[in-house]
Amino acid sequence: MHFFNKLIDSVFRRDTLHSAARRAGYVSDQNGIRNRYLRESGNWQSHLQNTRDFIIAAARQAEQHRSVAVLGSGWLYDVPLDELSQMFSSVVLVDIVHPEAVKIRAGRMPNVRLVEADLTGGAVQHAMQAKTFAQFAEWLPSARPALNFGDFDLVVSVNLLNQLDIILCDYLQRHFGVDDAELLTVRRTVQQQHINWLPAGRTCLITDYRQIDIPLDGSPKTETQLVFADMPEKPPVREWEWLFDTNQRYSEKNNTIFKVMAICF
């Protein structure tokens, strides 16, 4: 009976997470990433290859190769899954929802496991449950990591840090009319919590940190800050630019480039 109750509880929590992810917009956003990739695949290849190469290099430097967790695994466009599965005894892919194609691919690899978890530490589900923004804001500092990241020999946060707050803040703004100053506090808190939860000496972090919009009419380009947390003091090991959108679907009348940093700490 105890096992049966645990099984029911696990299914309930998974279904609750799926429901929250869908309501908040994570599922539609994930599909949007796939569609943008299909439109922009040629422009994305340099960024994706830089990301995969950096992850492989970090994996080679790991002191042990028992287990690796990839946070924000998504469609695996930027994840060198084959190489990681050969280098580590266990590979754990973590995201709020896993696409069916990823489930099929991972199912063919005996040492790859999928975990569906809210990497904001429960902020997505709490936003769904909150009656007011004040109620959500009061809870947010008590967020806790979805997994014990210290259990892994390497933790890879892959193009995730800036994404953690975007959909969450869009939901808060739609439902509670939150102003920019309140949203900035949420962004900074969610991002800082993520960095603080990553294990020292065993982390590979890759994130876009500035957005460059280049108007088609020849007007001066603009830059927008995307990361508001205090980054580790160690400087980025690598930086590059990601030609993200050339169809003006992300920023109207602009081509969009992201500046990306990659760091091990």
Q: Give the C-alpha separation, 157 to 70, whole Å.
A: 6
Mean pLDDT of 160-189: 95
Question: How high is the pLDDT of residue 21?
Answer: 73
Question: Is 257 within 8 Å of 212 (Cβ atoms)?
Answer: yes
Question: How high is the pLDDT of residue 6?
Answer: 35
Q: What is the end-to-end Cα distance of the chain in Å, rounded?
A: 44
Mean pLDDT of the chain: 92
Mean pLDDT of 241-258: 94
Q: For residue 1, name the pLDDT band (cuts at 50, 70, 90).
A: very low
Task: Output Rg (C-alpha) for the chain, integer angstroms.
Answer: 19
Question: How high is the pLDDT of residue 10?
Answer: 40
**pTM of the model as a whole:** 0.90
Question: How high is the pLDDT of residue 15?
Answer: 56
Domain ranges for the chain = 2-202
Question: How high is the pLDDT of residue 20?
Answer: 73
Is pLDDT above 70 for 8?
A: no
3-class DSSP assignment, residue 95: strand
Handedness of CA 195, 201, 204, 208 (dihedral sign): positive
CATH code for the part of the protein at 2-202 = 3.40.50
Q: Which of 9-18, 34-43, 194-203 has the lowest mean pLDDT?
A: 9-18
Is pLDDT above 80 for 54?
A: yes
Is pLDDT above 90 for 47?
A: yes
In 3-state terms, the chain is what percent helix, strand and coil (to 5)? 50, 20, 30
Q: What are 20-42's pLDDT values in tens digits?
A: 777 777 878 888 899 999 999 99
Question: How high is the pLDDT of residue 188?
Answer: 98
Q: What are 60-98's pLDDT values in tens digits?
A: 999 999 999 999 999 999 999 999 999 999 999 999 999
Question: How high is the pLDDT of residue 235?
Answer: 82
3-class DSSP assignment, residue 108: coil
Question: How high is the pLDDT of residue 139?
Answer: 97
Mean pLDDT of 164-178: 95
Q: What are 110-160's pLDDT values in tens digits?
A: 999 999 999 999 999 999 999 999 999 999 999 999 899 999 999 999 999
Question: How high is the pLDDT of residue 137?
Answer: 97
Please choose, from the candidates 247, 244, 237, the residue with its C-alpha nearest in 3D space to the C-alpha of residue 259.
244
Q: Which residues are bridge partners to 126 per DSSP?
A: none
Mean pLDDT of 174-188: 96
